[in-house]
Amino acid sequence: MTVYEVLTVVVVVVLATAATAAIYLGLLNWAGGVFVVRCAACHHLTLSPENLPQPSCPHCRHPALTHPLYTANHIGQPRAVRVVGDALKY
């Protein structure tokens, strides 16, 4: 029973930390300190100090770190990032 109690406390702490970080990120976005923008190459959401699309994002620069299973299955083309067609207009 002690293991379940410890795991419950760990889950609560992780969720509380994530929620607090999201609140501060939203406040920074609202205050103009950090902007949530789309990547110009792959259209993933990324952070930027300016309200302009970033030319690349961590998904584009480090695909093995952000999508390890996809990259492992596509060894011949490690830089290929799937882009889902979205209806966003820039």
Residue 83 clears pLDDT 80, i.e. is over it: no
pLDDT digits (tens, 9 = 90+) for 28-65: 888 888 888 888 887 788 888 888 888 878 777 777 77
pLDDT band at 86 (very low <50, low <70, confident <90, very high): low
Residue 84 clears pLDDT 80, i.e. is over it: no
> Is pLDDT larger for residue 13 or for residue 79?
13
Residue with tokens 């789309």: 38
Residue 11 clears pLDDT 90, i.e. is over it: yes
- What's the whole-number average pLDDT of the chain? 80
Distance CA 28, CA 35 (A): 8
Nearest to 39 by CA among 31, 48, 28, 30: 48
